Structure 1
Amino acid sequence: MKRQYLQVTNIAAFVAVLTVNILSSALPINGRSAGEISDALPSFFTPAGYTFSIWGLIYTALLGFTIYQALPAQRDKAFLGRIGGLFAISSVANIAWLLAWHYGYYALSMLFMVSLLVTLILIYVRLEIGRPNPSLSSADKLLIQAPFSLYLGWITVATIANIASVTAYLGWDGFGIDGQVWSAVMMLVAVVVAGALLFNRRNLAYAGVLVWALFGIRAAYTDVALIANTAVVAAVLITLLALVGYWRTRQPAAPATPQPQTA
């Protein structure tokens, strides 16, 4: 019964977060689109508008997860228990962030965004995403691991962008350091976070989202050499980290079967 409850809760959580996200653009909530709010909170870390189209891929992937986990055959699978109520919590945090963001509670929105990031990291760790596991089927990798890799990748970038926008709104002067320099520093922070999450893990999806976001930042600031160049360097470093993680977690070759000795 507990597993059935989790399945239903996950469905409800996905429907709720998808609905609020659609309304945030369709209405929009509080009469302000996310783009208008971002324009009012300038920072040197907000990627070009087209970059946000990745939400379509993320929600399509999460829809696949929601349907897959709801199948009767998945009810007794270990992944459902490992996720527990974390997906529902992440959905609540996502919704809370959207409402706080659209209604102008920017400092509070930062708290919700960090909560969302932490929840997704917990899911990532509990599911051991990217770890070698011969028992995982192709469907498990595509419909469980890939959705949360994409989601976490984007929220990693979104959290840093949210912090940059909110601190700018609050009037923080960055200890007198130019905003462009802080943007470059934050991109390097993204590399460090990626390194921690990709070390000993095979996760090209997570790395791919970060690279996508970094090139979105570059596209938004092509006229700012420091930001554009740092974005490219960070993207290259993350790609290398992903390849190293992929290499470190490769499956060892099966030992050769000894041949019987003949007289």
Structure 2
Amino acid sequence: MVSTAGLGGRTGLVWRVVLVVLALGQVVSPLLVSALGGGAFTTSDRAGEPPIVPAGYAFSIWGLVEVLCLAYAVWALVTRSPGQQLRDRLARPLSVVFAGFTAWLVAAEVEPVWSTVAVFVVMLIGLLTALNIAVRHRAEITGWHRAPRALLWSMLGVYTGWSSVAIWVNLTTALTESGAPIDGPAGVTGQIAILAGATATAVALLWRTSGLLSYGLAVVWALVAVVIATADAQQPVLSVIAAAALLLVAAATTWFRLRRPVVA
């Protein structure tokens, strides 16, 4: 008779193997899309984009995300250190996220206007689920060796931080593709609302994670690029709003870290 623990262990192993495969998929899929001649929607600094889309250089953060995800997935598969049950629990939502990344690239080629937003929503739900699991087991993670602990928090923070801003930007792009204005009073007001939504999301997650530094830095990275992009587009009002959002996120990161109960 097969024990429940044995079945659970094999199921967890399967999920961790799947996670490695999907992490590799995140690395390979952009190369395949580019080789097949696609990628127009995901090309940075496209003409006609809303001013609040971050400057093109900022999207290089995806390379860091891919490396962190692959490194964590491989570590989670091969390590024999304590915390296997937690790694197994994290593997499920992270598999959804990693698969979503490749699905997002496909959606960007098939129907980039609203399908990409839908995929990003699913990805963000997966990231928030994984982040919530990690936060609730913060004390256990603190007992891990320093390197894997830093790897986990870096991966979750950078991926969630960039995605929590990118989903709002993706929404702006979808609205623009659907006919919404990008300039004039209506266009500027709409983009201010988008920046407010992204900032509120960031502050809420900084509160939930006790000022997770990797998360705050990823959001700051995105907002700096928004300030630059809006300045290049000669939209001073949006530049000021983006700069204010940047300062607010930086202050919130510092404040919540100072008040955090456990160092992460």
TM-based fold match above 0.5: yes
Matched-pair contact (CA < 8 Å) for 1:207–1:242: yes
Q: Could you tell me which residue of structure 2 aligns to residue 232 of structure 1?
A: 243
Q: Could you tell me which residue of structure 2 aligns to residue 255 of structure 1?
A: none
Instruction: Give identity over the alignment, percent.
Output: 22
TM (norm. structure 1) is 0.85
Give the counterpart of 2:217 among 183, 205, 208.
208
Give the counterpart of 1:14 among 6, 23, 27.
23
Matched to 1:9, the amino acid is: V
Question: Structure 1 residues 54-63 or 19-28, which shifts more?
Answer: 19-28
Counterpart check, 1:169 vs 2:177 = yes
Q: Compute the displacement of 1:216 (Å).
A: 0.4
Q: Compute the displacement of 1:224 (Å).
A: 1.2
In 1: Cα distance, 2:203 partner to 2:109 partner: 32
In 1: Cα distance, 2:138 partner to 2:186 partner: 40
Gaps of 5+ in 2: 1-9
Matched to 1:239, the amino acid is: A
Q: Compute the displacement of 1:250 (Å).
A: 4.5
Gaps of 5+ in 1: 253-263
TM (norm. structure 2) is 0.85
Matched-pair contact (CA < 8 Å) for 1:44–1:179: no
CA separation of 1:45 and 1:250: change in aligned 2, threshold 3 A: same
In 2: Cα distance, 1:80 partner to 1:229 partner: 42
Matched-pair contact (CA < 8 Å) for 2:164–2:198: yes
Matched-pair contact (CA < 8 Å) for 2:50–2:172: yes
Give the counterpart of 1:124 among 116, 131, 154.
131
Q: Could you tell me which residue of structure 2 aligns to residue 184 of structure 1?
A: 192
CA separation of 1:245 and 1:131: change in aligned 2, threshold 3 A: farther
Q: Could you tell me which residue of structure 2 aligns to residue 82 of structure 1?
A: 89
Q: Compute the displacement of 1:24 (Å).
A: 2.7
CA offsets 1:157-214 (integer angstroms, 9 cap, x no match): 110011000011112469x952122222222212211111111513111011111111
Give the counterpart of 2:145 among 137, 145, 148.
137
CA separation of 1:72 and 1:204: change in aligned 2, threshold 3 A: closer
In 1: Cα distance, 2:137 partner to 2:87 partner: 17
In 2: Cα distance, 1:18 partner to 1:97 partner: 13
* Partner-residue secondary structure (3-state), 2:80: helix
Q: Could you tell me which residue of structure 1 aligns to residue 70 of structure 2?
A: 63
Give the counterpart of 1:153 among 156, 161, 169.
161
Number of corresponding residues: 249
